[in-house]
Amino acid sequence: MTLRIAVFGENRHEKVDPKVQEIYPEGMHAVIAEALRTLLAADGVEAEVRIALLDDIEESLSEEALAETDVLTWWGHMAHEDVPDEIAERVVRRVHEGMGLIPLHSAHYSKPFKKLMGTTCNLLWRNEGEEERVWTVNGSHPIARGVPHPIVVPEQEMYGEMFDIPAPDELVFVSSFAGGEVFRSGAVFRRGKGKVFYFSPGDQEYPVYRQAEIQRVLANAVVWARPEGREAAPVKIANAPRDWFRGDDEDGVARVI
């Protein structure tokens, strides 16, 4: 089955910040999308990668578009509030149905991620271009496949604890910074039938998404987050008459969730 990926980019810093324009002249979304195409092809994964932007969000994240999306990566920062509430709810509903979601860097404040976490998602931060080291703490996880230990990001915005998220179902990476802070930088959650992987390296002022090691993490993540081979529908509440499981109805005993 072809893995259908949508790379959502806010695409605001790239329009107004000369430094960001120099690093990502075609946008961060373009670099992420091309890296996924290249690495997945090299891995033998058949994939279709499309770009979705805030400027075309009504179309690119429509009901129809999301119904045909297996994994959605999300980068946003300065325009979280410009994402319509109904689209955020649409994304959350699709995650519950089985779509994978990969929030990146400051997407910890995105509407879909906050709704899925149910917390403030607040954290400490300092942007002084310090070194970040991304340490693998779960080497058996598929997202850590082929990833150096540690990944060294020469310059990056510091994100530090406390990070107000629920306890992750699994923790794949922890970062340390030159200033002494640590951060849960690669956290896995399951919501409904869907998988969520939050990955923090990727401030717009530094060429983080051009690093091969970071691209490897993203390629691993979209493969891991793809829907499992189950019907893409949430578990429903239904009336259960007494003895329904004894198999004396036309559906028999087996009930597929």
Q: What is the pLDDT of residues 67-81, one digit of tens each?
A: 999 999 999 999 999
- What's CA 240's distance to the chain center, in Å? 36
pLDDT of residue 240: 75
How far is Cα 2 from Cα 4, in angstroms, rounded to an integer? Answer: 6
pLDDT of residue 238: 75
What sign for the dihedral angle of Cα 106, 111, 117, 121?
Answer: positive
How far is Cα 231 from Cα 214, in angstroms, rounded to an integer? Answer: 32
Q: Is 159 helix (H, G, I), strand (E, B) or coil?
A: strand
pLDDT tens string 12-61:
999 999 999 999 999 999 999 999 999 999 999 999 999 999 999 999 99
pLDDT of residue 101: 98
How far is Cα 250 from Cα 232, in angstroms, rounded to an integer? Answer: 24
Helix or strand holding residue 223 (H, E): helix 212-225
Domain boundaries, the chain: 3-119+183-231
Strand order of the sheet with strand 3-9? Answer: 47-53, 3-9, 71-75, 100-104, 194-199, 182-191, 170-177, 124-136, 151-160
Ordered DSSP codes for 143-157: GGTT--SSEEEEEEE
pLDDT of residue 242: 77
- What's CA 31's distance to the chain center, in Å? 16
* Annotation: CATH topology of 3-119+183-231: Rossmann fold (3.40.50)
Helix or strand holding residue 160 (H, E): strand 151-160
How far is Cα 55 from Cα 60, in angstroms, rounded to an integer? Answer: 9
pLDDT of residue 237: 73
With tokens 């997407």, the residue in question is 107
The stretches in the chain having pLDDT less than 50 are: none
How far is Cα 182 from Cα 189, in angstroms, rounded to an integer? Answer: 20
pLDDT of residue 220: 98
pLDDT of residue 21: 94
39 contacts: CB under 8 Å, gap ≥ 6: 215, 216, 219
Token pair of 20 as six digits: 């960001």
Q: What is the pTM (predicted TM-score) of this model?
A: 0.90
